[in-house]
Amino acid sequence: MNFSSADAGDNEAVDEVKTALCYANCACPSQTVQLKTYDPATKRQTYYSDCFQGIATGTYYKYAEKVCETRKGTLASLTTPIKNYFLLTSVIPFDNTLKTINTLHIGLHRNTTISNGWLWYGYDNTVYPLENYQNWAPGFNSGSAGDGIYLDKLDQSTWAWMTEGASSNSFAYMCQIRACDSTPRDCDRSGWLNIQKKRKVSNLN
């Protein structure tokens, strides 16, 4: 197999191939933050297929999920401590529209037709159950009244889950959008395309 580039040197060609491969497997839309972790032992980052986008304009819980769906996503599913930590340390503090907020709708919601019916929104109109990782605020648990969940900032470094009604609170919210891969045909490639435009401009200079 041979990779070549018509408008770049060897180093640029390698960079283009790397970027293309990353795009083909896992690239986020523009104005989103891709979930990633760092392994100090291997000194490598692992990229995941979830992309976060905060919406500072407040709305009720029942409308927040609908807005995320129009962006081809869902309300954020914070299913692991790692995902929760990334959101709180690498997304919210660096978003100028969100870093002063204290409350945020997320994607955990109650389905009263099933036992212990807390579910996370998934992509493509799917849902999946609440499992071992649970981050309830003091005084709240899976039996607390409410239809949805929001993150509440308890102190400078601690956020936890509180229940709410579907039409109770007009809060900011966090959407989670699936990264582009070889399957979705309608995903937003603008972030990757912008990188390619910048590369071409730099090659012309």
Residue pLDDT, tens place only, 114-155: 777 899 999 998 999 999 999 999 999 999 999 999 999 999
Q: Which pLDDT band holds residue 108 (cuts at 50, 70, 90)? A: very high
Q: Is 162 exposed, middle or buried (0-12, 13-18, 19+ CB in 10 A)?
A: buried
- Pick from 1-5, 121-125, 177-181: least confident: 1-5
Query: Residue ranges per domain, the chain?
Result: 54-175
Q: Structure tokens of 67?
A: 């807005």
Specify the pLDDT at position 202. 46
Q: Look at the chain and count its residues.
A: 205
For range 1-10, the mean pLDDT: 46
**CB half-sphere exposure, 170, CA atoms < 13 A:** 3
Specify the pLDDT at position 112. 82
**Torsions phi, psi of 104, nearest 5?**
-155, 120
Amino acid of residue 80: T
For range 169-182, the mean pLDDT: 89
Q: Which of 35, 70, 40 is nearest to 55 (CA)?
A: 70
| pLDDT surpasses 60 at 199 | no
Higher pLDDT pick, 116 / 32: 32
Architecture of domain 54-175: Roll (3.10)
Beta strands in the chain (DSSP E): 33-39, 44-59, 73-75, 103-110, 118-121, 127-129, 148-153, 159-164, 171-178
Higher pLDDT pick, 79 / 10: 79
**178 within 8 A of 187, measured Cβ to Cβ:** yes
Percent of the chain with pLDDT over 70: 75
For range 49-63, the mean pLDDT: 95
How do 118-121 and 103-110 pair as beta strands?
A: antiparallel
Q: Which of 68, 55, 46, 58 is nearest to 177 (CA)?
A: 68
Please report, for residues 28, 41, 102, 199, the alpha-carbon distance to residue 179 in angstroms, rounded to integers and kept in the order given: 5, 26, 27, 22
Q: Which pLDDT band holds residue 43 (cuts at 50, 70, 90)? A: confident
| pLDDT surpasses 70 at 1 | no
Q: Which pLDDT band holds residue 47 (cuts at 50, 70, 90)? A: confident
Q: Which pLDDT band holds residue 46 (cuts at 50, 70, 90)? A: confident
Q: Hunting for tokens 């039409």 — which residue is that?
A: 167
CA pair distance 195, 205, nearest whole angstrom: 16
Specify the pLDDT at position 90. 95
| pLDDT surpasses 80 at 182 | no
For range 159-171, the mean pLDDT: 96
